[in-house]
């Protein structure tokens, strides 16, 4: 049996998760503005930490387009929409194949 967590640790984790979801929502809103309504459902933010934003793409051709040709354009536009939390690195990850 594991030892119970101190209340302070538990609250700290909740606040950290709330902060992450708040920053993710700002990036999600930016992607809503940047990507077309056809492309947006295929992209999901899976991580945001230390100036690095990770976006999972569920389509190989779209992954190739975004990571190969539009990465810097999208990163700069995200930084325009979210100037108080700029990202230094935008990473696309191919996903959607192992989720059954």
In this structure, CATH architecture of domain 7-94 = 2-Layer Sandwich (3.30)
Q: Whole-prediction pTM value?
A: 0.73
21: number of Cβ within 10 Å: 11
pLDDT digits over 14-58, tens only?
545 544 455 578 999 999 999 999 999 999 999 888 899 999 999
Q: Return phi, psi of residue 20, to 5°.
A: -65, -40
Q: Is 48 helix (H, G, I), strand (E, B) or coil?
A: strand
Whose tokens are 């976006």? That residue is 55
CA angle 84, 81, 47 (to 5 degrees): 75
d(CA 63, CA 56): 9
d(CA 27, CA 79): 9
pLDDT digits over 3-25, tens only?
777 766 655 665 455 444 555 78
Q: Return phi, psi of residue 39, to 5°.
A: -85, -35
For the chain, what are the domain ranges? 7-94
């Amino acid at each position: 049996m594991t030892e119970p967590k101190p209340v302070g640790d538990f609250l700290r984790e909740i606040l950290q998760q709330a902060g992450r979801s708040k920053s993710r929502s700002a990036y999600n809103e930016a992607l809503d503005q940047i990507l077309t309504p056809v492309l947006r459902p295929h992209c999901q933010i899976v991580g945001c930490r230390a100036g690095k934003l990770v976006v999972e793409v569920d389509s190989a051709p779209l992954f190739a387009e975004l990571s190969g040709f539009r990465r810097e354009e999208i990163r700069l536009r995200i930084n325009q929409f979210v100037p108080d939390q700029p990202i230094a690195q935008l990473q696309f990850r191919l996903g959607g194949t192992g989720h059954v």
